[in-house]
Structure 1
Amino acid sequence: MTKRRTLVVLGIAAILVVALVVASAIWLRHGGQANAAQSGQSGATGQAGSAIATEPVVREDLHGSVNVAGTLHYADSHQLRAGYDGIVTQLPEPGTQISAGAQLYQVGDDPAYLMRGATPAWRDFEDGMSNGQDVQQLEQSLKDLGYFADEPDERFDAQTISAIRNWQDAVGLTRSGRLQLGRIIFAPADLRVGTLSTRVGDRVTLDTSLFSVSSMQQVVDANVSLAQQDLAEKGREVTIQLPDGSTTPGTISSVGTPVERGAGNGQDSQADGQGSQANQAGPAAGNKERILPITVTPSDPEATSTLQEASVTVALPSQTRENVLTVPVNALLALTPTQFGVEIAREDGSFSQIPVETGLFAAGRVEVSGDDLAEGQHVVVPSR
């Protein structure tokens, strides 16, 4: 056999192999479709025994979103510092919720208590002190606890002294009517105890860090790219996906100012649609990008109450298409390099591919339209 003839034979053999592979692939997907017993239903079985999976064409409202990574944690975490010098004799358990009027810690025989207020205690409360807003918030806190009967004002007077004495008597302190600096700590809401920095028996000095505290309110911190900043509006409702896959609603409670983030810091955006990720690898090495920090407050505290801190996903609504036909994304076929289509499972057991135009991709589905497409038809999807 000549060299030329050998090449011709090999070429023909290669063509036959390719044709056989293509025919096999078509047969595996469509084998026996003509005699499918239940065409148009998920799980229909063809003549050759292969399962033909289908899904209905649905008319619905399609909601698109952009996903950003975030961190769920307790808000306003900070260190609580000692107001006295001495030996630590009492500390709270991590995770404890401390309400107004309750003891926070004790150094020697000097306990410190939580009171409600936004202005920090910065001086002794005693007879003869000047008027001030801190006096009013002390009286309001004592009133909330049931010890102050009058209308709170900024004057430290006999009514204030009487209320302090009644409270001191209730918690076992000397009825002096005076509160030394360090005896009470103001906070606008209940506190949650975090990590302890000291132990009972440690010697501490003024301003030594004792333990971390935070608000009882949980929030999610996330970053949005500047290209998507129109989605990050204060008050906008969003969806939070938790580590177990469940979702809970939330609201954007604050929007920061643009900041720079270097490469490799994570929390890149992912557009909901064809599985594509925006900034999947982050900015190029050595480059920086501008981002917009946002804070999201969960609407249902119970949904996140079992999580102290967790990585979550925040879905920011992007656009909505109303009353459109949709199919699963994996039902799409590439009929040509520029034309998508779907394969329709007919009621008579036949199958046909039709061209479609695609619109919004969201939540695993895609908006489609076409002359031969109608609600209630069934499209072929890959078998699982």
Structure 2
Amino acid sequence: MRQRASQTHGGASRVRRWTVGAAVAALLVTGGGLAGAYAIGSSTAAPAQKKVDAATARIERGTLSGTTKASGTLEYADAHDVNAGLGGVITSLPAAGAQIGLGQQLYAVDNVPVYLFHGSLPVWRSFQPGMADGPDVKQLEDDLATLGYFSGNADGTFTWATSNAIKKWQRATGQVVTGSIEPGRIVFQPTDVRVSTLDASVGSNAGPGVPVLSLTGLDKQVKVNVRLSDQALAKVGGKVSIDLPDGSSTAGVIASVGVPTEVDDATGQKSVMIPVVVALDDPAAAGDLQQASVTVDFPSETRENVLSVPIDALLAISASTFGVEIVNANGTTRRVPVKTGLFAGGRVEVSGDGISAGQNVVVPAA
């Protein structure tokens, strides 16, 4: 029970915290839950108390949104290995963390560079006169055009113009000029890449299928597992908030939702989770972080046009009744029973007779 008005406000604050905490804990134990907690008992307000010197907060009307939190990992997107496409000795490798762009060297075999080109299809054949048409040829022609070597029609047909563009590129990069490109001399990737780790070392032998580099894209993403019971919150295109290690938050959007997968939780127990990938609205918000643990807030429940108060404003009028202490115009206070609804963002939805937006309620002093 709350102390009498004649006692100090500091003592009342301590009693308020203990009684409200105990009442909320009781609701959780009995399965009531925070969002469904309701005050029970007499609706008669307590008589006015003496004037008090206390911290106050306003009863506000507006939208209150709840969230469900899940732990995730911030990392670079599209991690994958690149295997050698030809045999020889690896003579050059980039540094881990290096960014490689279109037409730049990825690594070298027998002191001959292997170059990065853009395209969604991998290299599976030589580029040479007489080859059949195909989308891989168009990828090559598009890239050579971007690099300034091809001015013909990039239509996927290997013509004299295509071979001539290859010769210009080979001459400009110090290669043997042949007008053809053997498999393994270029690597198609969808975009520019970042070197994550080195899977081989200078001096080691390369060969078809042997891992050389681990690459990622340049954009960062968050991978998070959502409980099966919360799968309705994970929808492609849904907006989320991401809490970063430095205490700041940034917005994101759900980019993909996987199928239910059995994983080991923190205690080693197996549970079924939904793998979710979140793209950052502002990639720069992650700063220099390469990998970090983050918290993802999924919007779960929203109440519009409701009254709310800080959770600390709640007091336990009895073992089964929540209330708030309203400050009257003359500085006195009165306790008013309330029904509670959604708990979210440090506030709680309240309703009941005798409360309205703009009124001040007593909160524990800091």
Shorter-chain TM range is 0.7 to 0.9
**What SS does the corresponding residue of 2:143 show, helix, strand or coil?**
helix
Q: Distance in 1 between matches of 2:56 and 2:231?
A: 39
**What SS does the corresponding residue of 1:289 show, helix, strand or coil?**
strand
**What SS does the corresponding residue of 2:304 show, helix, strand or coil?**
strand
Which runs of no fewer than 5 residues in structure 1 stay unpaired? 1-18, 37-45, 47-51, 267-281
Q: Structure 2 vs 1, CA of residues 261 and 109 (structure 1 numbering), >3 Å: closer, same or farther?
A: closer
**Structure 2 residue aligned with 1:62:** 64
Asked if residue 84 in structure 1 is aligned to residue 47 in structure 2, the reply is no
Q: Structure 2 vs 1, CA of residues 241 and 348 (structure 1 numbering), >3 Å: closer, same or farther?
A: same
Q: Distance in 2 between matches of 1:203 and 1:261?
A: 37
Of 348, 365, 368, the residue aligned with 2:350 is: 368
Higher Rg of the two aligned structures = 1
1:172-222 deviation line (CA, Å, top 9, x unaligned): 112210111111000111111111233333444443322210111211111
Of 345, 353, 366, the residue aligned with 2:327 is: 345
Q: One-letter code of the match for 1:90? A: S
Q: Structure 2 vs 1, CA of residues 234 and 184 (structure 1 numbering), >3 Å: closer, same or farther?
A: same
Preserved CA contact (<8 Å) 2:166 2:179: yes
Q: Distance in 1 between matches of 2:338 and 2:274?
A: 38
**Structure 1 residue aligned with 2:20:** none
**Structure 1 residue aligned with 2:31:** none
Q: One-letter code of the match for 1:69? A: S
Q: Distance in 1 between matches of 2:125 and 2:77?
A: 27
CA shift for structure 1 position 169: 1.3
Q: Distance in 2 between matches of 1:25 and 1:204?
A: 85
CA shift for structure 1 position 150: 1.8
Asked if residue 379 in structure 1 is aligned to residue 361 in structure 2, the reply is yes
Which has the larger displacement, 153-162 or 200-209? 200-209
Q: Distance in 1 between matches of 2:12 and 2:241?
A: 40
- Equivalence map 1:286-297=2 (5 Å): 288-297=270-279
Q: One-letter code of the match for 2:168? A: N
Which has the larger displacement, 55-64 or 68-77? 55-64
Asked if residue 207 in structure 1 is aligned to residue 189 in structure 2, the reply is no
1:133-168 deviation line (CA, Å, top 9, x unaligned): 211211111122221112212221211101101111
**What SS does the corresponding residue of 2:338 show, helix, strand or coil?**
strand
1:95-131 deviation line (CA, Å, top 9, x unaligned): 1111111110112222100111000001111122222
**Structure 2 residue aligned with 1:332:** 314
Question: How many equivalent residue pairs?
Answer: 330
Q: Distance in 1 between matches of 2:333 and 2:7?
A: 12
Q: TM-score, normalised by structure 2?
A: 0.84
Preserved CA contact (<8 Å) 2:257 2:275: yes
**Structure 2 residue aligned with 1:275:** none
Which has the larger displacement, 202-211 or 310-319? 202-211
Structure with the larger RCO, 1 or 2 (CA within 8 Å, 6+ apart)? 2
1:315-336 deviation line (CA, Å, top 9, x unaligned): 1111221222111112111222
**Structure 1 residue aligned with 2:173:** 171
Q: One-letter code of the match for 1:359? A: G
**Structure 2 residue aligned with 1:75:** 77
**What SS does the corresponding residue of 1:302 show, helix, strand or coil?**
helix
Q: Distance in 2 between matches of 1:217 and 1:128?
A: 39
Which has the larger displacement, 84-93 or 218-227? 84-93
Asked if residue 320 in structure 1 is aligned to residue 302 in structure 2, the reply is yes
CA shift for structure 1 position 65: 1.3
**What SS does the corresponding residue of 2:165 show, helix, strand or coil?**
helix
CA shift for structure 1 position 364: 0.8
**Structure 2 residue aligned with 1:269:** none
Preserved CA contact (<8 Å) 2:127 2:180: yes
1:279-326 deviation line (CA, Å, top 9, x unaligned): xxx7xx75x432211111011111124210111111111122122211
**What SS does the corresponding residue of 2:362 show, helix, strand or coil?**
strand
Asked if residue 193 in structure 1 is aligned to residue 175 in structure 2, the reply is no
Q: Distance in 2 between matches of 1:375 and 1:22?
A: 27
**What SS does the corresponding residue of 1:326 show, helix, strand or coil?**
strand
**What SS does the corresponding residue of 2:342 show, helix, strand or coil?**
strand
Two-structure CA RMSD over aligned residues (Å): 2.3
**Structure 1 residue aligned with 2:111:** 109
Which runs of no fewer than 5 residues in structure 2 stay unpaired? 14-48
Q: Structure 2 vs 1, CA of residues 348 and 22 (structure 1 numbering), >3 Å: closer, same or farther?
A: closer
Q: Distance in 1 between matches of 2:253 and 2:343?
A: 24
**Structure 2 residue aligned with 1:221:** 223
Q: One-letter code of the match for 1:195? A: T
Q: Distance in 2 between matches of 1:315 and 1:332?
A: 25
Q: Structure 2 vs 1, CA of residues 229 and 26 (structure 1 numbering), >3 Å: closer, same or farther?
A: farther
1:7-49 deviation line (CA, Å, top 9, x unaligned): xxxxxxxxxxxx9x96799544359x8454xxxxxxxxx4xxx
